[in-house]
Structure formats: C-alpha cells, structure tokens
Amino acid sequence: MSPADLLLGGVAIAVGLLIGTVGVGGVLMVAFLALYGGLSIHQAAATALFSFLFTGILGTWLYQRRGSIDWRITLPVCAGSVIFGFAGAFAGALIDPKPLSIAIALIIVAAGVYIFVPSPRSASHREGKEPSERILLVSVGAAAGFGSGFSGAGGPLFAVPLMVILRYVPLTAVAASQVLQIVAAVSGSVENLRHGFVDWRVATIISVFELAGVIVGVRLAHVAKPRTLRVMAGVLCIASGGFLLVRSW
C-alpha cells in the first residue's frame, strides 16, 4: 500500500472507533475524502455512506451479542429511514458541488458543537411501547435517513443526538444507530450507485479499516467513559468542517 493509502486507513480506523463508541464520527470520513482523498464532494459522500453498510453490520452484531440493542426502539427508527435515505441521496445529487460542500461542512461543524453540549442529567427508561413514542421514533429515523443520504455522514450522526435530546439512554441510542447504518446506507447508496458516485477502490480500503476501528470502539463503549473520545471527535468535526467550509466558500 502507498503512504496515501496507509494514511487513509489510519483515518478510517479512527472513524470506525468513533462510530462504535459514540456514534458521531462517520462525517469525518466525508470531510477527509473531500479535502485530501482526491474525490469530489458527491463521490466523498457516496463512498463514505457505502462503507457504513459494513460498519453497521459489524456494529449490529457486536452490540446484539452484548444484548445492548432494544429492538422495540430500534425498528421504528429504521423504518423511518427506509424511504428518506433514498430521498436524501436524490436531493444531494441534484445540488451543485459548492453549495453541497457548504451544507455538509455546516453539518460537520454542528455535529462537533453538539458533542460539547451537556447531555441531560437523567435519561428516561423509554421502551417504545406507546403509539405516540413510535411515531416520534419513526420521525427520528426519517430525519436521520434523509441527513445520511444527503451528506453521506451516516445515520448515527443524526439519530444519536436526537435520541439523546429525547432522553433515551446514550448506549441505547448508539446501539440503535448501528442498525440504522445498514438501512440508511442501503437506501442512500441505491441512488448514489445509479449516478456512479461510489469510488470502489477507496470504498474497499476504508471499509476494511473502519471495521477494525468499530471492534475497538464497541468495547470502549461498554467498559470506558467515552468523554475523551467525544471531545476528540468534537474538535475534529469543528476543525475539519470549518476548513471544508472555508475552502468551499
């Protein structure tokens, strides 16, 4: 592998680790591919999103093996993202590269800022039984699916903050977002593949290394306080998003 491929692999490991630990992290891959990977913003978003299909499969298996996935909460979220992941990718494909880059950069910065917002002191033990709660979870999935397809950032970037704001246990939100990655990646990639946006060589490299990061990330999510990783992710999101914003502007 070339030095550039090794650097790409190192970034992918870090992204996978953050996905497995705090959910927010996939968006950094979009920024890196757009800034340093030699891909257009459409290719970067599509290629990153496609790789999250595999991190989602592995993350789902690892979280399910630990019994951390609450399916009564997870299934409505995934159901909401099925159509809207495609819709987000369709909308993104229609936008010119410059405004799309600016929009994605703003999403990245917003994700970084969110990480530094204090979480609610106490989370509710919500079980997804009430019809009104299920509708709310479907809405979360719809928003996450559209945002994922549009930006290529992956469903967890949108679903985890929304679920934490709605006072779900953070570990439950991150676990649900692993399954969401699968649905959102498939839904959004259908449209991206039609346009030929996925760079298969880059997708192969980052997928392999992201999987290694997810394995470590899931372990950390269950045994360690992820505060340090959250801060690191926040700083990286704000820095990379800000740089992409300035460059795009």
Whether 20 contacts 213, CB under 8 Å: yes
As a whole number of angstroms, the distance between CA 120 and CA 246 comes to 33
In this prediction, residue 226 carries a pLDDT of 57
Whether 89 contacts 150, CB under 8 Å: yes
In this prediction, residue 52 carries a pLDDT of 94
C-alpha pair distances (Å), 125 with each of 70, 166, 223 = 11, 11, 21
In this prediction, residue 187 carries a pLDDT of 93
- Encode pLDDT of 27-80 as tens digits: 789 889 988 888 999 999 999 999 999 999 999 999 999 998 999 999 999 999
Low-confidence ranges of the chain (pLDDT < 70): 115, 118-129, 224-230, 232-233, 249
Q: Quick one: which of 181, 184, 157, 171 has its CA closest to 217? A: 171
**Which residues, including other chains, have CB under 8 Å from residue 54's CB and lie 6 or more apart?**
207, 210, 211
As a whole number of angstroms, the distance between CA 134 and CA 153 comes to 24
As a whole number of angstroms, the distance between CA 247 and CA 243 comes to 6
In this prediction, residue 123 carries a pLDDT of 53
**Which residues, including other chains, have CB under 8 Å from residue 131's CB and lie 6 or more apart?**
none
In this prediction, residue 39 carries a pLDDT of 93
Coil, helix or strand at residue 36: coil
pTM above 0.75, yes or no: yes
Sign of the Cα torsion 62, 68, 72, 73 reads negative
What percent of the chain has pLDDT above 90?
46
Give the rounded distance of the alpha carbon of 246 from its chain centre.
23
In the block, which residue shows the tokens 């997870």?
Answer: 74
- Could you give the dihedral angle defined by the CA atoms of residues 28, 29, 30 and 33, in that order, rounded to the nearest 10 degrees? 120
Q: Quick one: which of 27, 54, 61, 245 has its CA closest to 151? A: 27
**Which residues, including other chains, have CB under 8 Å from residue 94's CB and lie 6 or more apart?**
none
